[in-house]
Amino acid sequence: MLVAATSCAAHAGELAIAPAELKAVGTIDPRFQSYNIEMVEITGGRFWKPYLRTTRAFDQHDRYSDRPPIDLANARLRRLAAALSPAYLRVSGTWANATFSADTEPAPATPPPGFNTVLGRAQWRGVIDFARAVDAEIITSFAISAGSRDADGAWRPDQAQRLVDATRSQGSRIAAAEFMNEPTLAATSGAPPGYDARAYGRDFRTFREWMQRAAPETLIVGPGSVGDSAAPSVPGIRTRDLLAASGEGIDRFSYHHYNTVSPRCGGSDEPAQALSEEWLARTDATLSVYRGLRDQFAPGKPIWLTETADAACGGNRWDKTFLDTFRYLDQLGRLAKAGVQVVMHNTLAASDYGLLDEGTFRPRPSYWSALVWHQLMGTTVLDASAATAPGLHVYAHCHRSAPGAVTVLAINISRNSFRTIVLPLPSERYTLEAAKLQSAMVKLNGSTLALADGNELPRLSGHATAAGPIRLAPATITFLAIPGAANPACR
């Protein structure tokens, strides 16, 4: 047995894990852990307004604020992004659906009719330079608003061609592309009035034929839906209808998932539920819907989650604290085990759900957790499903860099109960915790994580831990690297 517990151990909440015997259940893309920089961050414009320091209700009629373009040349931003490489960098979002790609310099100050904003050539060069500097492959989507259409309302690829040509002119490429962002919400995402599944199918076929001619090296990813569920709560086009209308032709099946929407868009969730089983399991519920659609319309195609965070519309108030670190890591563990190949967090550095503070680019708690995952969790996923106890979520991968080694991730979501894991071998322990769950500071093995002078990242070192029981405090996250596991799947 992979996991054994005596009646005494079970009574004490102990789990015994044999790391050498954990079986491989799949692999993930080397760029599994990826992120978004929204198109509106590149161009500048109105994005989700920061929360006020007070806790009064958010005014949904005042949900946006103006911001300048992100500084992709910033040394701190580049260093922190590079620390998560290799990755995919997705430049998309709702604003991309109506962004005009300029082919002149300087770019026009205002967009032509049918567009809402302008992407300058220099701004796109900044994306390419950033991606090259941090070892990220570019993913994007294209304009589908009225300005990108002919007199009959059919989509034209001239804007998309400009972006492809501009990328090639810099010696780079677009690794993958979605036709548009979130076609299920086309009515509120820049598409012409009355846009439906039939129109999408017509446009997607045009897009696919153009891609095969203009950029055959670029993966076609889609549909990039959001909002589907067993009982749809968001008005829009059903993904099932989009796929039926568009036919075959995607290389990767993509979808979006948020546990909820933020107060900016009418959400009213409480932080008390952020460690609940129901809250964390929402990831599984959404994947189940989209995996079923993948199996029916694109069987065998790898699944990518191209946009995700705790709450849509900029994030909940607690998303920039240690509390959301539990969702971030639990989601990665669940999805890797379920076979999802890539997970793109929204965003790298904008609004409350950013891994980095948008003003200073300093790491938030979820960035530190991302960094520990990146250092310890490899691409071979192991089956730790037998290791179960109330309030304890356990995942396992081959170690990222040590042949034969195994890393176990143990997330204690109980706010008041200890849990114990028993290992037969010595391990290196990495425990993330905070003085308060809604703290902006996080500790690794008791030391506060922070950047040093010169934007130097601290060394993430484990504590040598003897074989035997390892006690896990309430509301903590622990990685256990086991160098002597000698797991055959990890050689």
Q: Under 8 Å CB-to-CB from 394, ≥6 apart: which residues?
A: 15, 17, 384, 387, 388, 408, 409, 410, 411, 421
Q: Report the alpha-carbon angle 463-469-474, nearest 5.
A: 75
Q: Under 8 Å CB-to-CB from 45, ≥6 apart: which residues?
A: 66, 67, 95, 116, 117
Separation between Cα atoms, residue 229 and residue 227, nearest integer Å = 6
Which pLDDT score is estimated for 234? 57
Residues of the chain above pLDDT 70, percent: 95
Which pLDDT score is estimated for 7? 35
Q: Say if residue 363 is preceded by a cis peptide, omega within 30 of 0.
A: no
Nearest to 118 by CA among 106, 132, 126, 131: 106
Look-up of token digits 């706010």: 415
Would you put residue 44 in left (φ > 0), alpha (ψ -120 to 50) or beta?
Answer: left
Which pLDDT score is estimated for 13? 64
Q: Under 8 Å CB-to-CB from 387, ≥6 apart: which residues?
A: 2, 3, 15, 17, 394, 421
Per-residue tokens: 19: 């790391």
Residue pair 254/302 in contact (Cβ under 8 Å)? The answer is no
Whether residue 6 has pLDDT greater than 50: no
Which pLDDT score is estimated for 310? 97
3-state secondary structure at position 441: coil
Residue pair 140/163 in contact (Cβ under 8 Å)? The answer is yes
Partners of 395 in beta bridges: 409
Partners of 35 in beta bridges: 89, 345
Whether residue 154 has pLDDT greater than 70: yes
Partners of 87 in beta bridges: 136
Whether residue 291 has pLDDT greater than 60: yes
pLDDT in tens, 58-80: 777 789 999 999 999 999 999 99
Which pLDDT score is estimated for 62? 80
Cα end-to-end span (Å), the chain: 21
CB atoms within 10 A of CB 23: 12
Q: Look at the chain and count its residues.
A: 491
Res. 55 pLDDT band, cuts 50 70 90: low
Separation between Cα atoms, residue 161 and residue 214, nearest integer Å = 7
Whether residue 286 has pLDDT greater than 60: yes
Partners of 344 in beta bridges: 34
Res. 386 pLDDT band, cuts 50 70 90: confident
Whether residue 400 has pLDDT greater than 50: yes
Whether residue 282 has pLDDT greater than 50: yes
Whether residue 53 has pLDDT greater than 90: no
Separation between Cα atoms, residue 382 and residue 19, nearest integer Å = 9
Tell me which DSSP letter residue 274 carries.
T
Nearest to 394 by CA among 309, 330, 466: 330
Whether residue 57 has pLDDT greater than 90: no
pLDDT in tens, 94-150: 999 999 999 999 999 999 999 999 999 999 999 999 999 999 999 999 999 999 999
Which pLDDT score is estimated for 11? 43
pLDDT in tens, 199-232: 999 999 999 999 999 999 999 999 999 998 754 4
Which pLDDT score is estimated for 2? 39
Which pLDDT score is estimated for 172? 98
Residue pair 267/313 in contact (Cβ under 8 Å)? The answer is yes
* Least confidently predicted of 8-12, 193-197, 346-350: 8-12
Look-up of token digits 């102990």: 14
Separation between Cα atoms, residue 96 and residue 119, nearest integer Å = 9
Per-residue tokens: 86: 């290799």
Tell me which DSSP letter residue 254 carries.
E
